[in-house]
Amino acid sequence: MGAASDMVAIGSGTLQGFAAALLGAGGFTADQADQTAAMLVWANLRGADSHGVLRIPRYVEMVELGLINPSAEPRRISGKGAIAVIDAQRAPGAVGMNIAARTATQLADTHGIGWCAVRSISHAGAIGYYAQQVAQAGKVAIVMTASKPLMIYHGSRAEGVSTNPIAIAAPTSNPDRPLLLDMSTASVALGKIMAARDAGHAIPAGWGVDADGRETTDPRNVKAVLPMAGPKGSGLSLMIEVLASVLTENPLIAVALAGGGDPGGNGLVAVLDPSAFGEGFPLEVDRLGAAINGLPPAAGSERVYLPGERGFDEMETRSRVGIPLVQGTRSRLLALASKLKVAVPEGLT
C-alpha cells in the first residue's frame, strides 16, 4: 500500500452504501447494486482489496459496453435430479452466483448434494464470498468460475486459459469462521496487479508477462498473468473451463481464441450436506484445524494459519478501524462519483 498520507480508512457500512450508490448511478438496479456492493466490501474487509471496490469503475464501464445486462432475468433452463442450470443473461456476477449458491443449497437439502451451473454471468468477484454463505448454513461448498483468456497456457507465450478461481468451504463449530480456501489458478490474482498499479508499486517476477510474452515487474505493462506451478495451474484452469463452461453448453475459451471479444463468464456452486455422511462433521473439522494450527511454525513465521484464517482476522480488524483505500483507488472512485453525480461520504475526499 502507499504511504500513510496517501490512504484513508472508511467504515464498511459507509463504503458499502457508497459502492451501491455508484453502481446504481452507473446502471445497476437497486437490488443488483446492493448484492454487488456487499460482495465487494466483503473482499475489502478480508484484505482482498484486489477484489474490492476498486472494481467499481470497470463494472460501470461493463454496463456501458453491454457486458453487464441490468435488465437480465436469470432463469432455469435445464437440469436433472440434483443438477440445475441457470441462464443469467449477463447479469452482474454477484447476482448470478448468489442464485447459484441458493439453488445448490436447496437441491442439497433434498438430495444431499446440489450442483447449480450458472452461465452467462459477468465478473463474479471474490468467490469465497459465495462459499462462505453455504458453509455458514452448515454445508460444504465447492465454487468455480470461468471467463475469457487472461493467463498464459504453460508452454505458450499467449493467453490460452482464464485465471479460473476455485473456492472450497467446510463448516466448523463457529458459523462465522468456516475453513475457507479461495484461490486463483494463476500465480497471482489479476486484481493484485491492478492494486499494485493503483498503489504505484512494482510487482514480483513470476506474476505476469508483457505484450511480447516476456516477464515484467511493472504492473502497467502486464498483458497476461502466469499460471501457478506452471502446467499444474494451466491444466487445472483448463479443467474448470470444462466443468463450468463446456458442460453447460456455453464454451468461453474456444470461442474467444477463435473469434476474440469477451464471451462473458460462467460459474458453478456444488453443495454437500454433511448429514448425508454421518454426524459430527463440524467438530472433526475443528479437530483437524487445531492439529494444523498446532504444527511448529517455520523460521520467520509467527504461527501456522488455516485457509481463510488471515482473512477472518483481517475482517475483525477492519470492522473496527475501517477499510483502508489507497490513493489510486480513491481517486478513481471520486472521479466516477463526480461523473455520475453521486454524493461522496465524509472523510473520503
At 348 the pLDDT is 87
Q: Structurally, what CATH architecture does the domain formed by 4-340 represent? A: 2-Layer Sandwich (3.30)
pLDDT in tens, 116-141: 999 999 999 999 999 999 999 999 99
pLDDT in tens, 287-307: 999 999 999 999 999 999 999
pLDDT in tens, 39-96: 999 999 999 998 999 999 999 999 999 999 999 999 999 999 999 999 999 999 999 9
* CA-closest candidate to residue 19, choices 47, 67, 51, 46: 51
Residue with cell 476474440: 260
The domain locations on the chain are: 4-340
| Count of other CB atoms within 10 angstroms of residue 235 | 16
At 1 the pLDDT is 36
Q: What is the rounded average pLDDT for all residues in the chain?
A: 94
At 261 the pLDDT is 73
At 192 the pLDDT is 83
Cα 188 to chain centroid distance, Å, stands at: 13
| DSSP assigned state of 323 | E
- Residue, of 125 and 261, whose pLDDT is higher: 125
* CA-closest candidate to residue 119, choices 272, 289, 241, 259: 241
- 18-25: Cβ within 8 A, 24+ apart: 18/333, 18/337, 18/342, 18/344, 18/345, 18/348, 19/53, 19/56, 21/342, 21/343, 22/56, 22/60, 22/333, 22/336, 22/337, 22/340, 22/342, 23/56, 23/59, 23/60, 25/340, 25/341, 25/342
- Residue, of 177 and 190, whose pLDDT is higher: 177
In this predicted structure, the answer to whether residue 3 has a pLDDT above a threshold of 50 is no
pLDDT band at 4 (very low <50, low <70, confident <90, very high): very low
Give CA–CA dist 127/297, Å, rounded: 29
- Residue, of 255 and 3, whose pLDDT is higher: 255
pLDDT in tens, 192-217: 888 898 888 999 989 999 999 899 99
3-state secondary structure 175-237: CCCCEEEEEECECCCHHHHHHHHHHCCCCCCCCEECCCCCEECCHHHCCEECECCCHHHHHHH
pLDDT in tens, 12-47: 999 999 999 999 999 999 999 999 999 999 999 999
- Residue, of 86 and 348, whose pLDDT is higher: 86
Q: Work out the average pLDDT over 269-285.
A: 97
In this predicted structure, the answer to whether residue 2 has a pLDDT above a threshold of 70 is no
Q: Are strands 113-121 and 83-91 parallel, antiparallel or unpaired?
A: parallel
Percent of the chain with pLDDT over 70: 99
At 138 the pLDDT is 97
Q: Work out the average pLDDT over 233-259.
A: 96
Percent of the chain with pLDDT over 90: 88
Strand partners, 248: none
Q: Reduce the DSSP state of residue 20 to 3 states and report it.
A: helix
